[in-house]
Amino acid sequence: MKWEQAITDYKHYLQLERGLSKNSIENYNYDIKKLISYLEENTIETSPLNINTNIVKEFIYAVSKSLNPRSQARLISGLRNFFDYLIFENYRTTNPLDLIETPRIGRKLPDTLTIQDIDKLINAIDLSYQYSGVNLGERNRAIIEMLYSCGLRVSELIELKLSDLFFEEGFIKVTGKGNKQRFVPIGTSTQNYINIWISIRNHISVNPESKDVLFLNYKGGKLTRAMVFTIIKKLVKNSGLNKNVSPHTFRHSFATHLLENGADLRAIQMMLGHESITTTEIYMHLDRSHLSDVLNKFHPRQ
């Protein structure tokens, strides 16, 4: 089996068997392609079926000089999953990464915005901004409001459809990782901002493949992840906010503010679409003063 065939088969497995998104599949295969590039650059002739631990160790050592421990751990994990797949398909009997240790990394605490930061960013949006006759300022406000008020991943935001909006019931249907769907509550103010954008969207010439997509670019096509990052980057600059903000920052802030105001962790888990409650528990550290207030208020011996 050649590397190209192994990658193709692995992609099909990740898509069909594990139900991963296109972005996740590309990330998994990026690690394998990096290994292949190393083999080619060093004229090492080996196949995915007979590559051994020593070669993989040399590769990891070579690339680790430019990677932090977290990136090293992700690289090792990605390759280990690939070779586990080959074992699963009976192409190999051993995994060359079994004896390679993953670097120890501390759990990265999420960056969050304060409520004042959120207000500052939203107030910095130029609602009159137009491009090619399309008002994109209202679209950008609706995007920021939805990221923060619904806790969406950027991939979930750009895939959101008009048919996913159930405003009368107060919910939106979100398709998350592994194509798993969940219903997330949406407030009336955010609904109003989205309706303003929809009234503008109705006058755009929409590409046929994007006719049900909520957020569009000025050409009538679906937004990309990169476009959303660019919108936020420009907004942060215009607001003068001295923080590193990404689409995921709004998701973290959504969960943190809910927890600070007494929301149940299980409810937050369901709204975020976390498969495990342990993933949601990372937010428990974020406001220890709030936890102290809860103890003082509710414990009988305080």
Angle at 295 between CA 300 and CA 106, to 5 degrees: 145
Q: What pLDDT shows up at residue 166?
A: 96
Q: What pLDDT shows up at residue 200?
A: 95
Name the stretches of the chain with pLDDT < 70: 104-110, 276-302
- What is the rounded CA–CA span in Å between residue 67 and residue 75? 9
**Fold type of domain 3-88:** DNA polymerase; domain 1 (1.10.150)
- What is the rounded CA–CA span in Å between residue 131 and residue 204? 12
Segments of the chain assigned to CATH 1.10.443.10: 115-294
**Amino acid making up residue 231:** I
Q: What pLDDT shows up at residue 77?
A: 87
Q: What is the domain class of 115-294 according to CATH? A: mainly alpha
Segments of the chain assigned to CATH 1.10.150: 3-88
Q: Catalytic positions, please? A: 153, 177, 248, 251, 274, 283
- What is the rounded CA–CA span in Å between residue 285 and residue 106? 14
Q: What pLDDT shows up at residue 296?
A: 65
Q: What pLDDT shows up at residue 66?
A: 80
Q: What pLDDT shows up at residue 300?
A: 65
Q: What pLDDT shows up at residue 101?
A: 79
Q: What is the pLDDT of residues 6-46, one digit of tens each?
A: 999 999 888 887 777 888 888 888 889 999 999 999 999 89
Q: What pLDDT shows up at residue 109?
A: 58
Q: Long-range contacts of range 39-48, CB-CB < 8 Å, 24 or more positions apart?
A: 47/1, 47/2, 47/3, 48/1, 48/2, 48/3, 48/6, 48/82, 48/83, 48/86, 48/91, 48/92
> Would you say 221 and 210 are in contact if contact means Cβ atoms under 8 Å apart?
yes
